[in-house]
Amino acid sequence: MLLRVPVLCLVVAAASVPCASAQYNFHFGRNKIQYTDFEWHVLETEHFDVYHYPEMRELAEHGAAFAEEAYKEMQNRFLFSLQERTPLVFYATDLHFKQTNITSGFIPDGVGGFYEFLKGRVVIPANGDLHRFRRVVRHEIVHVFTLNKLLRVYRDHRIVSARLLPLWFTEGLAEYWSGPQDHQHEMVMRDAVYSNYLVPLENIYRVYGSFLMYKQGEALCRYIAETFGEEKLLDLIDNAWRNADFRKVMEHTLQEDYKKLSADWQHVVREDYYPRLSKAQPPSVSAQGIAVRGFSAKPAFYKTKAGRRYVYYVGNKEGYTNLYSQELDSLYRPAGKAGMLVRGERDDRFEAFHVLASRLDVSSKGRLAFVTKSGEKDVIHTFDLEANALESTYGFDTLTAVYSPTWDPEGERLSFSGINAAGVIDLYIFDTLTDELTRLTTDTYDDRDPAWRPDGQMIAFSSNRTFFGEDGSHNLFTYDVLSGSIDYVTQGPHNDFSPSWSPDGRWLVYTSARKDSMDRYGGQDIYVADMLETPPIATRNFVRQSPGTRYAVEERRLTNWTTAVFDPIWTADDKLVFTTFENRRFTVRSVSSADSLVMQPRQTEVVEPVSGGHWTYPSISAQSERRPYPYKKQYGLDIAQGQISSSAFWGTSGGAVLSMSDLLGNDRLYLLMYRAADFGERTGNFFRSLNIHVSRVQLHRRTNIGYGVYRHGGLRYDITEPDVSTEFPRFWETIVGGFGALSYPLSMFRRIEFSTSLAWDRKRIPERRIDRVAYLFSNAASIVHDNALFGANGPVDGWRGELGVAYTTDIGNANVDYITGSIDFRHYLRIARHVTFASRALGRINHGKEARLWFMGGSWDLRGYPLFDVRGKKMWFTSHEFRFPILTQPALHVPILAALGIVNLRGALFLDAAHAWNDYYRQELPQIFAGETLGSGGLGFRLNVLGGFVLRYDIGFRFRDRFSRRDPSMFRQFFFGFDF
Amino acid sequence: MVLMGACRSIQVGSVEVGEEAAPLIVPPLELAWTHNAGAGFGVEPPHIRDNIAFVGTRRGEVIALSLEDGQRLGAKQFGESIEGSPVSVGGDLVVPIAFGKYALASYSVNSGRSLWSAQGEAVVAGILAMDDGFVVADAEGTVRRYDTSGEILWAATPGGRVRSRPARAGGRIIVADENGCVSAVAADDGSVLWQHCQGRPVYAPLAMLESVVIVPTTRGVVEFVDAEKGELVSTYAVQDRTVRFTAAGTGGEMVVMGTSDGRLVALSHGGKELLWEIEGMDSFLGGPLIVGRYVYAASTGAILYAVSLESGSIAWQIKLRGRTKTGLAAAHGKLLVLTEPRHVQAFRTTNTVIKP
């Protein structure tokens, strides 16, 4: 075995080349698929390079204007100018954004964008709502200025420091300076105050990276600005050099004790919110719970032909997001346990639900319509609730993202909002009988949440096509299906969302968050609009800008709840079913007697909408500036790292890794140079143990391609090598070759891989004067599946598997000729929320002339045996673990652990068994533990540190010879790494 | 003249000033020399005495440079950071220290010896030099008057923390603080004579225009305050109240200021009349400097501008080595600009022969 293999595989694995150490986790993982071959162009503005594709040019022009607008403001706020042009990479939709290679991680729903520090890249999807896009652009540009300003401060003071400002501050500042507090901010802060989980500043690490931390950070920055002066926010950055501890920096800058500052802030927040909440009630008191466990949202209601009532919702109770059904009794209390209607996030068809963005709807005939991401695009599924069967799946060539389908009264047509390749969101109607797609709106306004009126003539929806839309407000509108005219329902600086009709079509029920006299949003409550008095549609037209007739709409506020309510629906039983946010949790609840609530509203307001209100976002025309030009790759450094060591016994070893990639992260170059230790051999030949690996990986297509050349050289130790002496099994080997590999993702969860390599291999055994040369030609293929769900220490649910074959031969002299087969299957059975039973079965074979050895041993597989010391050309291995929690939050007991990022202490009862052999199953080679069935059992402890490292400590007994005997002493093994 | 160059002390012999070079700083300018000061700079312009520029750095060093050729005459460490600028008092150098063991230090550049140092609150603002001593306002807001030997003559705390260099108006010392209060204390005994509070923090140095003190605030407003009575004479405001004004450059009746949103503004008649305004530049942090018929200003966009005082048109501009956040200084035909990352750049009029 080559001693250098584990090091090399870090690079080799990146190119998907089969490698001995690939028996570990390198070959698993889900696939980030490049469905779309974007034709990238660059639009240059004064301070930015805007990367976009031609389909979304108009959006890019808006984004460019937003960026320049933010630059101007941030330059003033930071007293700073950027000396380098900042790359802005825009995507039209979230689904395109998820394909980015600028970060290798998966991007979940809800991520508005990110700023990547290494190359200063800002990456943002527009996703329909240009106001939100504008705000995210500002948010990220605050980050750009913050980081550059901070680095400038360090350099001015000649401080060599990599320390960054705390996340609560940088994110809080970005939120605070990107615009006024929005309704989501109010929702979170009101809930934090009411539910009493406002996190003191000194403990804010406990919510590190959470939405709560962002919003508390925003509130803290606002408090600092309002109490000490806006200037102090910048002073905090200017003074960051004074102390590595930001608490000290705050104390110096604000001249206030840190804990007192925290206490004062909490007091001010509570003093501010308590009066606002004094008359508000929590939904948990005022409303009946339907689905209150885990995350539950987007309810839809259906009463079956048999008269049974069901609420359907999207929920996440144990990790995967699924579609659930919950039967209700006549009082809308849950009758029995919720059933899983559709299992999500495990296969290609239901890859992901848009849990906070897309509503469900049930037709009068019992057809449930819902949206999932399925490959490149969103699709609408219909499910026959009477037959309990999935019916159809509808995808649309022209649409990338689809949200909130709603049925017409006949249950044949669906209306929904969709985002096209240009990133523009509009309303559509799809006829399921004729497969005809009709676009209803054609502009850049954010049209969403359509709801078909029971008589089928009108579709209500939420849009920012209002006088107040430029500031982010949304009002309700109606679309007349026959005439195509659009009319106001509500009007004002509100956020009116999620309209839904009462069964008789008179009332439009919706949610609204409204600003008070202090220009602050309150809670998001349920409202209804009386639609009875609607005048003839023809007289009111908004889109076509014809003079409209004023008419009055009476709005009634039905609730006054502490935080926020979403997606109300009015059922035939006169109940309202909706989602609420309370105590950091989304739950589905109901209230009775919708009619009574409407008749006794908390507040009534008559609105007389004024037609008109057309406005546009600013834009930097690509025609007026330098014309966009096609993107041309330029490589920039990602990683450069070197290391060298020298000892009298081991000799000198060392190496360097160099990684470069283009701006979009699509094309990556790797250079690895490593000189292995000679173990005291004074060869006088530096190059003899020199390893070089140069590879290129291209990720811009769906098929990932890698190729490269390598030279591996050095001393090898191999007890099974037939030509070496048993006492001293060492020899020199040099391999020079090239490889090519490709990986084709069949879906997010499955891929096939192929690789080939050709190498010149020279083996020398000086003691026996053997000098053998082979021309190794190797081909491999494998299929990999992985839908495992990860917890803090490893997979907790799902399964992953790999099946591979390979053939290696010497095309020159037939010195080497062997086949490879491998299978690795891992299954995770989630018994309870924090308890998993994990099983693994593995088989490996290398068979033929000069077949290489597989290896095992160590904490990652066969525990109790030395790392990699169990070897054989063939082996099987099985492992079973009962994984259970010990302390999910050890920091609650020892607070300092949280600051160190130590979370989730877990235990594992394990039982391992394996057998490695060469030619004969029972032929024993004690030096490599071959020829006998080995095993171990015991107890392990796992501790996650800093989110990325898992410390492992196992104790147990080793078993030998088919478990017939047990080693007398216990083994203790400490290592690191995620569970299998 | 220079005895020890580039060593860890500054020692200068008796200086032969000779004929004062006429202020021949007329655009176009050319780069005369550049010196790497080793660290960044605060907002205060460098101090020039005779033919030597003294530059304080954010690493706590004061560097003496020959104006002639930029040669380092010496350097001395004072604490860990200097934000204000050293000043000459009675032939010696007094250094404000923003971070370190001491808050003030005095140094003889003739003998190369430290004279005294004083502990206390850090001094972020510049020092106001007077004939018979100097005045310092520290980060806690205490104003102290010292004599030339470093003895405290009086101390007063008229307001909050001070980051802005005080100004002198006859027998008054004018101090502005972070809370937006402008105070006048008697130069003789430190008694508070008047206070004018508008709640607009002051970070940039004060300046005087005859009997009017120019108060550049961080809230989009410049206040012109009668130094004798403390009454607001006039204000100049921009719409955006987050805009900060730089220290004022004054010349004749004119006042020129930069803003953080990238404007240069020229006012006259005590700020009552806007003469001209240039927009669309990068942020200005350091104050502009009026020399002859031009005002010079350097931006965070790393551009040095020469603007005609009369017309407000940009007469000349040049790209600098880096951003500038420090006020400008000029003497002996040299315009000194402190730029990022850590350079002192001297400009002179093109083809001008500087007399020795």
B chain contacts of residue A76, beta-carbon cutoff 8 Å: 240, 242-244, 260-262, 283
R_g of chain A computed on alpha carbons: 32
Is the pLDDT reported for residue A823 higher than 80?
yes
Q: What percent of chain A has pLDDT over 70?
A: 92
Is the pLDDT reported for residue A17 higher than 50?
no
Nearest beta carbon to residue B39 from set A75, A158, A242? A158
Q: Which two tokens stand for residue A369?
A: 């319509």
CA–CA gap between residue A475 and residue A607 (Å, rounded): 12
pLDDT band at A681 (very low <50, low <70, confident <90, very high): low
**What φ, ψ does residue B86 adopt, rounded to 5°?**
-65, 155
A25 three-class SS: helix
Among chain A, residues having any CB pair with chain B shorter than 8 Å are 72, 75-77, 79-81, 83, 152, 155-158, 229-231, 241-242, 255
Distances (CA, A) of B301 to B83, B280, B288, B344: 21, 11, 15, 16
A chain contacts of residue B342, beta-carbon cutoff 8 Å: 155-156
Q: What is the pLDDT of residue A925?
A: 86
Q: Which two tokens stand for residue A73?
A: 């403001």
Distance between A251 CA and the closest CA of chain B, angstroms:
14
Of A818, A938, A831, A809, the residue nearest A884 (C-alpha): A831
Chosen from A72, A79, A173 to mutate, greatest number of chain B CBs within 10 A: A79
Is the pLDDT reported for residue A166 higher than 70?
yes
Q: What is the pLDDT of residue B108?
A: 92
A63 three-class SS: helix
Q: What is the mean pLDDT of residues A273-294?
A: 92
Q: What is the mean pLDDT of residues A590-614?
A: 85
A575 neighbors A592 (Cβ within 8 angstroms): yes
Is the pLDDT reported for residue B350 higher than 50?
yes
Q: Which two tokens stand for residue A819?
A: 């086949």
Q: Do B282 and A81 touch (CB under 8 A)?
A: yes
- In the chain, the amino acid numbered A165 is L
Q: What is the pLDDT of residue A615?
A: 84
Residue of B nearest to A154 (CA): B40
CA–CA gap between residue A933 and residue A936 (Å, rounded): 11
- Give the tens place of pLDDT for each residue, B198-249: 999 999 999 999 899 999 999 999 999 999 999 999 999 999 999 999 999 9
Is B323 part of the contact surface with chain A (CB cutoff 8 Å)?
A: yes
A chain contacts of residue B161, beta-carbon cutoff 8 Å: 255
pLDDT band at A537 (very low <50, low <70, confident <90, very high): very low
Chosen from B283, B319, B321 to mutate, greatest number of chain A CBs within 10 A: B283
Highest mean pLDDT of the ranges A846-855, A921-930, B275-284: B275-284
CA–CA gap between residue B38 and residue A590 (Å, rounded): 68
B chain contacts of residue A83, beta-carbon cutoff 8 Å: 302, 322-323
Q: Do B299 and A81 touch (CB under 8 A)?
A: yes
CA–CA gap between residue B119 and residue B128 (Å, rounded): 18
pLDDT band at A678 (very low <50, low <70, confident <90, very high): low
Q: What is the mean pLDDT of residues A351-378?
A: 95
Residue of B nearest to A243 (CA): B99
Beta strand pairing call for B329-331 and B334-339: antiparallel
- Give the tens place of pLDDT for each residue, A182-222: 999 999 999 999 999 999 999 998 888 899 999 999 999 99
Burial A397-427 (b: 16+ CB within 10 A, else e): eebbbbbbbbbbeebebbbbbbbbbbbbbbb
Beta strand pairing call for A86-91 and A121-125: parallel
pLDDT band at A10 (very low <50, low <70, confident <90, very high): very low
CA–CA gap between residue A352 and residue A349 (Å, rounded): 9
Is the pLDDT reported for residue A548 higher than 80?
no
Q: What is the mean pLDDT of residues A785-810?
A: 93
Distance between B353 CA and the closest CA of chain A, angstroms:
34
Beta strand pairing call for B47-49 and B133-137: unpaired
Residue of A nearest to B286 (CA): A79
CA–CA gap between residue A313 and residue A331 (Å, rounded): 18
Extended strands (E) in A84-198: 86-91, 114-116, 121-125
DSSP string, B255-318: EEEEBTTS-EEEEETTTTEEEEEE-S-----SPPEEETTEEEEE-TTSEEEEEETTT--EEEEE
ipTM > 0.90 for the complex: yes
CA–CA gap between residue A665 and residue A87 (Å, rounded): 13
Classify residue A238 by its DSSP letter. H
Is B326 part of the contact surface with chain A (CB cutoff 8 Å)?
A: no
Distances (CA, A) of A523 to A281, A299, A516, A641: 11, 20, 10, 52
R_g of chain B computed on alpha carbons: 19
- Give the tens place of pLDDT for each residue, A450-470: 999 999 999 999 999 998 888
Instruction: Please provide the average confidence, as pLDDT, over all residues in chain A.
Output: 89
Q: Which two tokens stand for residue B93?
A: 């150098």
Q: Do B242 and A76 touch (CB under 8 A)?
A: yes
Nearest beta carbon to residue A157 from set B81, B240, B244? B81
- In the chain, the amino acid numbered A101 is N
CA–CA gap between residue A389 and residue A414 (Å, rounded): 19
Distances (CA, A) of B338 to A325, A388, B285, B307: 69, 76, 12, 19
Tell how far CA B220 is from the center of its chain.
Answer: 21
pLDDT band at A118 (very low <50, low <70, confident <90, very high): confident
Q: Do B322 and A83 touch (CB under 8 A)?
A: yes
CA–CA gap between residue B149 and residue B156 (Å, rounded): 19
Q: How many Cα neighbours within 13 Å face the side chain of A739?
A: 31
Residue of B nearest to A177 (CA): B242
Nearest beta carbon to residue B178 from set A75, A155, A229? A229
Of A607, A593, A512, the residue nearest A560 (C-alpha): A512
Is B160 part of the contact surface with chain A (CB cutoff 8 Å)?
A: no
CA–CA gap between residue A655 and residue A674 (Å, rounded): 4
CA–CA gap between residue A912 and residue A879 (Å, rounded): 4
Contacts of A733 (CB under 8 A, 6+ apart): A2, A712, A713, A714, A716, A761, A762, A763, A764
Q: Do A81 and B161 touch (CB under 8 A)?
A: no
CA–CA gap between residue A148 and residue A142 (Å, rounded): 10
Q: How many Cα neighbours within 13 Å face the side chain of A789?
A: 20
DSSP string, A671-728: EEEEE---TT-----GGGGEEEEEEEEE-SSSSEEEEEEEEEEEEEE-TT-TTS-SSS
- Give the tens place of pLDDT for each residue, A749-775: 999 999 999 999 998 888 888 898 999
Q: Which two tokens stand for residue A453?
A: 């009126």
Distances (CA, A) of A94 to A124, A447, A849: 9, 16, 52
Distance between A799 CA and the closest CA of chain B, angstroms:
54
**What φ, ψ does residue A655 adopt, rounded to 5°?**
-175, -175
Q: Do A230 and B243 touch (CB under 8 A)?
A: no
B chain contacts of residue A75, beta-carbon cutoff 8 Å: 260-262, 282-283, 300
B304 neighbors B316 (Cβ within 8 angstroms): no
A chain contacts of residue B81, beta-carbon cutoff 8 Å: 157, 241
Q: What is the mean pLDDT of residues B2-27?
A: 51
Q: Do B203 and A83 touch (CB under 8 A)?
A: no
Query: How many residue pairs from chains A and B have C-beta atoms closer than 8 A?
Result: 73
A chain contacts of residue B260, beta-carbon cutoff 8 Å: 75-77, 79
CA–CA gap between residue B126 and residue B204 (Å, rounded): 10
Distances (CA, A) of A159 to A80, A143, A241, B81, B83: 19, 21, 7, 11, 16
Nearest beta carbon to residue A81 from set B38, B40, B301? B301
Q: How many C-beta atoms surround the C-beta of residue A622 within 10 A?
A: 21
Nearest beta carbon to residue A158 from set B59, B178, B242? B59
Q: To which H or E segment does residue A58 belong?
A: helix A57-78
A462 neighbors A498 (Cβ within 8 angstroms): yes
Q: Do B41 and A156 touch (CB under 8 A)?
A: yes
